[in-house]
Structure 1
Amino acid sequence: MKKTNVWMLFWALFVSSTVLVSCSDDDDDAMDQDKARVATFFQNAAQSDMFEIQTGQMAKVKGSTAEVRTFGAMLETDHTASSQKITTMAAQRNITLSPTPPAPKKAIIDRLTGESGLTFDKDFATVQVQAHQEAITLYETADREIMDTEVQTFIDATLPILRMHLQHAQTLKTAVDRM
């Protein structure tokens, strides 16, 4: 009887340790996946900010209406602040961010560079609606998928600003489209 109890105890300890090792591996996999999601999010969010900063700066100078110039200044200010936070958090996690916007965004920047007057204002407003819809989708997806609490806090603080920018861009688009 004692031999049976000893073997049962040994077997229970073996199974328990196997389960713990398996859970530990699952935790490591989840952490690795979260790190990859954070890196991808920071890359995309940084590029989004870069685009907003550059187009905002353009709007401050090239906008033919006060509303476009004011919105451009707001974008530059808000996205510069966001970009600084992303850069800091990425550096803390040893994530290297791309210094250039992706090709499709670069093409839009180049197009806007060649425009002026009301043509610029209308294109800028349209671009901002689309860019902020994309940014909100990026942040909402990250909000659902990322477990890193510091990144979650950043996302939760930034989403309302992006939604406000989208609303402002939609109002601006309606106004300049009537001109």
Structure 2
Amino acid sequence: MSATRLTRHALVACAALFATGALAQSSYPPAPTGDKSSERRMENRLASEDRDFLENASQAGQVEIEGSRLAEEKATSAEVKTFAKQMIEDHTKAHRELVTLATRKGFTLPDEGSIMQRTELTALKAVSGETFDKMYASRIGVNAHEKTLELFREAASKAKDPEIKAYAAKYVPALEKHLGMARTLRDRVGKE
């Protein structure tokens, strides 16, 4: 075999090995490095619906926690304060787990609720007494849990990523329980 032909075969073999290695490497998600561009590449591997769920679940949880902290300070009803304390504990635990999941997926969660959710919190801050209790029970207790439960049920049945699907399914029963508690609370403080 001539030197030119041998060199050509060696180049073809090297090119084939390089291409195979490059393809094999691209099938694994990059490890989180703190580099925002690699995090965006990982984030883009998630289906848009899964990214939306992570974002919306984070915002909903943060609003529940912040609204419930307000209730611990401002509520006049002991029952509202007890409910708020339970919401803080449960939603903080779920949010920590969500942060861990999102980090593994290379997804950066928002730092606060949506504009509409922040407007709800601002409205809560502006009232006091029985009006606060009724508003908290209705808006943060019932309305927010109805929306969050719907969000989690949908992700539990339709999420593309199995870990996201499992996370959503895990919290559906707790959210159903919260909604029942919130409805009872709303009925009681509405009658006082």
With normalisation by structure 2, the TM-score equals 0.74
1:139 aligns with 2:142: no
Match of 2:79 among 33, 55, 67: 67
1:39 aligns with 2:51: yes
Identical-pair percentage: 29
1:155 aligns with 2:168: yes
**Inter-partner Cα distance in structure 1 for 2:86 and 2:96:** 16
**Deviating 4+ runs (over 4 angstroms):** none
Helix, strand or coil: the match of 2:47? Answer: helix
**Inter-partner Cα distance in structure 2 for 1:64 and 1:121:** 7
Partner of 2:131: 119
**Aligned AA for 2:59?**
Q
Question: CA offset at residue 149 of structure 1?
Answer: 2.2
Match of 1:58 among 60, 70, 81: 70
Partner of 2:88: 76
1:164 aligns with 2:177: yes
**Aligned AA for 2:113?**
P
Question: CA offset at residue 100 of structure 1?
Answer: 1.7
The residue correspondences of 1:4-23 to structure 2 (distance < 5 A) are none
Question: CA offset at residue 115 of structure 1?
Answer: 1.0
1:97 aligns with 2:109: yes
Question: CA offset at residue 34 of structure 1?
Answer: 5.3
**Inter-partner Cα distance in structure 2 for 1:60 and 1:54:** 10
Partner of 2:39: none
Q: CA-to-partner distance for each residue in 1:76-122, whole Å, 9 max, x for gaps? A: 11111111111111011111111121111101100101111100000
With normalisation by structure 1, the TM-score equals 0.79
1:129 aligns with 2:114: no
Q: CA-to-partner distance for each residue in 1:15-39, whole Å, 9 max, x for gaps? A: xxxxxxxxxxxxxxxxx78532221
Partner of 2:40: none
**Inter-partner Cα distance in structure 1 for 2:45 and 2:146:** 26
What's the Cα RMSD here? Answer: 1.3
5+ long unaligned stretches in structure 2: 1-43
**Inter-partner Cα distance in structure 2 for 1:35 and 1:86:** 17
Are the aligned partners of 2:51 and 2:107 in contact in 1 as well (CA < 8 Å)? yes
**Aligned AA for 1:82?**
A
**Inter-partner Cα distance in structure 2 for 1:87 and 1:135:** 17
Helix, strand or coil: the match of 1:99? Answer: coil
Higher helix proportion (structure 1 or 2): 1
